[in-house]
């Protein structure tokens, strides 16, 4: 049975009230007027609130609800909506306004064949913003269907700067020289480091409840976004695979090695299926794969370093995992700043944790530089890399140490992660 116009109008009006009353943390995402966007990212990363933010920006420019239409398809009242009902959205708007609306379609991927509707809107010169909880919207089929009419906007968890701002911490340009300001930043950093930057984590006070929230979210991602969508019957195997990825953060690991781990638990999972499971985890935005800049194509695709999209989720799998969490938080920030396809690692005669070629940036990450063995392990590769790439910026990021070290007649300054994240 088709959705009625009265029900659609009821949903549209009630969702307007929610947008008007919502408390929004302003995020540094920029949208061009008259461009169409698809916002993608992991569950609960704040895509809907970015739509709210954009709507309020349009209102500040003089727009009203007469030319703005928002609909969240996650509303249980729309559970039965089909492709045939989508055009009713425009008809309902036309009842109370003659203006051509700017459309905000939240979680529209719940409607099968939504892509054709989105393309028709773009072809008809509507301005459209769309969100989705997984990178299914970036698949080759969808990209072909949308025909280049939409820009992809990747949405990440809060950066540390956004996290600090959301906590109401105001920093001036000289905050690094203030003992009280540094202490306040470091307290926020410890929370961000441990529980990540998903927006809803800020409203939870109890550490136990934070962990429970993150565990529930992980269950939704791997059981809902991955197992249910791809009809994976043995969820236990996928969970083992993700746990192994979490344990292996910082280390290159091949598809074959991952498959061997699964097989050693008694499963007969094939190598091609293992590869498919990894693709599904990436599509759900649970993991961030990083390739070796120098590897041959086959090795680039088969042997990667993997990181998780949020420190809070990663921390569910770790015990005394401070070093792993530090490198993970740096990876997330680099992917946010430069795009995940532009971040890689460097493994030749020496290994560099992260390189960003377009920024001519190389980074080594280590929790502490107190031990002689650690300093040698981190500094020698960085000094070799710097001598081969004299025009690059080479950084040493630590947890909280600021000091200078010399290797091969080259001087390197360490920078605390909390400070680098705010730069």
CA dist 111 to 33, 137, 142, 365, Å?
26, 12, 14, 43
Mean pLDDT within 279-290: 90
Give the per-residue pLDDT at 133.
Answer: 62
**Percentage of residues in the chain with pLDDT exceeding 70?**
96
**Percentage of residues in the chain with pLDDT exceeding 90?**
58
pLDDT digit string, tens, across residues 310-346 = 999 999 999 889 999 999 999 999 999 999 999 999 8
Would you place residue 143 in the very low, low, confident or very high pLDDT band (cuts 50, 70, 90)?
Answer: low
Provide the angle, in degrees to the nearest 10, between the axes of the packed helices 47-60 and 5-21: 80
As given in the structure block, the two tokens for residue 188 are 């926020």
| Helix, strand, coil % in the chain, rounded to nearest 5 | 50, 15, 30
Residue 122 has pLDDT above 90, yes or no: yes
Full DSSP string of 254-276? EHHHHHHHHHHTT----HHHHHH
Mean pLDDT within 373-390: 88
Give the per-residue pLDDT at 176.
Answer: 86
Full DSSP string of 66-113? TSEEEEETTSGGGTT--GGGTHHHHHHHHHH--SPPEEEEETGGGSTT
| Strand ordering across the sheet containing 303-308 | 253-254, 303-308, 287-292, 344-347, 351-356, 361-365, 393-398, 410-416, 404-407
What distance separates the 2 farthest-apart alpha carbons in the chain? 76
pLDDT digit string, tens, across residues 49-105 = 999 999 999 999 999 999 999 999 988 999 889 888 999 999 999 998 999 999 999
Beta strands in 111-150 (DSSP E): 128-132
As given in the structure block, the two tokens for residue 418 are 């909390």
Distance (Å, rounded) from C-alpha 134 to C-alpha 40?
A: 6
| Strand ordering across the sheet containing 102-106 | 68-72, 102-106, 128-132, 37-40, 151-154
Rg (CA), the chain: 23
Looking only at the bridges linking them, the beta strands covering 102-106 and 68-72 are parallel
Q: Which helix (H) or strand (E) is 233 found in, with range?
A: none
Low-confidence winner among 172-176, 255-259, 353-357 (lowest mean pLDDT): 172-176
pLDDT digit string, tens, across residues 1-21 = 578 889 999 999 999 988 988
| 318 close to 327: Cβ distance less than 8 angstroms | no
332: nearest Cα among 313, 354, 310 = 310
Of residues 202 and 405, more confidence is placed in: 202
Would you place residue 196 in the very low, low, confident or very high pLDDT band (cuts 50, 70, 90)?
Answer: very high
Mean pLDDT within 240-269: 91
Would you place residue 138 in the very low, low, confident or very high pLDDT band (cuts 50, 70, 90)?
Answer: low
Taking all residues of the chain, what is their mean pLDDT, rounded to a whole number? Answer: 89
Give the per-residue pLDDT at 145.
Answer: 72
> Model pTM?
0.91
Give the per-residue pLDDT at 161.
Answer: 94
Distance (Å, rounded) from C-alpha 294 to C-alpha 216?
A: 38
Residues 6+ apart with CB under 8 A from 345: 252, 290, 291, 292, 293, 305, 351, 352, 353, 354, 355
Indicate the domain borders of the chain.
5-154
| 46 close to 203: Cβ distance less than 8 angstroms | no
Each residue of 322-338: b (16+ CB within 10 Å) or e?
ebbbbbbbbbbbbbbeb
Give the per-residue pLDDT at 24.
Answer: 86
As given in the structure block, the two tokens for residue 315 are 């921390």
Taking the C-alpha atoms of 234, 236, 239 and 245 in order, what is their torsion angle to the nearest 10 degrees?
-90
One CATH from 3.40.50, 3.30.450, 3.90.190, 3.30.310 for 5-154: 3.40.50
């Amino acid at each position: 049975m088709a959705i009625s116009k009265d029900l659609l109008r009821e949903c549209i009006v009630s969702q307007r009230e929610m947008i008007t009353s919502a408390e929004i943390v302003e995020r540094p995402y920029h949208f061009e007027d008259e461009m169409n966007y698809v916002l993608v990212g992991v569950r609960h990363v704040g895509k809907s609130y970015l739509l709210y933010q954009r709507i309020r920006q349009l209102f500040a420019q003089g727009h009203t609800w007469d030319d703005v239409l928002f609909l969240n398809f996650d509303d249980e009242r729309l559970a039965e909506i089909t492709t045939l009902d989508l055009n009713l959205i425009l008809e309902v708007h036309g009842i109370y306004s003659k203006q051509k609306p700017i459309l905000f379609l939240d979680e529209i991927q719940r409607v099968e064949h939504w892509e054709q509707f989105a393309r028709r809107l773009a072809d008809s010169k509507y301005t459209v913003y769309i969100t989705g909880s997984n990178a299914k919207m970036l698949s080759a089929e969808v990209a072909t269907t949308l025909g280049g009419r939409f820009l992809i906007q990747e949405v990440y968890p809060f950066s540390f700067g956004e996290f600090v701002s959301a906590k109401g911490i105001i920093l001036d340009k000289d905050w690094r020289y203030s003992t009280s300001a540094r202490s306040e930043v470091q307290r926020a950093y410890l929370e961000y480091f441990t529980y990540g930057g998903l927006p809803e984590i800020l409203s939870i006070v109890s550490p136990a409840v934070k962990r429970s929230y993150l565990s529930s979210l992980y269950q939704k991602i791997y059981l809902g976004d991955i197992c249910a969508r791809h009809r994976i019957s043995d969820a236990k195997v996928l969970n083992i695979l993700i746990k192994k990825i979490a344990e292996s953060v910082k280390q290159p690991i091949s598809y074959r090695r991952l498959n061997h781990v699964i097989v050693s638990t008694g499963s007969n999972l094939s190598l091609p299926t293992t590869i498919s499971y990894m693709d599904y985890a990436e599509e759900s935005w649970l993991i961030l794969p990083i390739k070796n800049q120098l590897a041959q194509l086959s090795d680039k695709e088969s042997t990667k370093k993997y990181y998780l999209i949020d420190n809070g989720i990663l921390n569910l799998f770790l015990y005394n995992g401070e070093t792993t969490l530090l490198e993970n938080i740096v990876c997330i920030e680099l992917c946010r700043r430069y795009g995940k396809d532009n971040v890689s690692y460097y493994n030749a005669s020496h290994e560099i944790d992260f390189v960003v070629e377009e920024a001519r940036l190389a980074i080594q990450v280590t929790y502490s530089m107190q031990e002689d063995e650690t300093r040698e392990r981190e500094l020698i590769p960085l000094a070799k890399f710097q001598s081969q790439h004299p025009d690059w910026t080479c950084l040493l990021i630590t947890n909280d140490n600021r000091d200078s070290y010399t290797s091969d007649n080259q001087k390197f300054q360490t920078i605390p992660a909390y400070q680098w994240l705010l730069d």
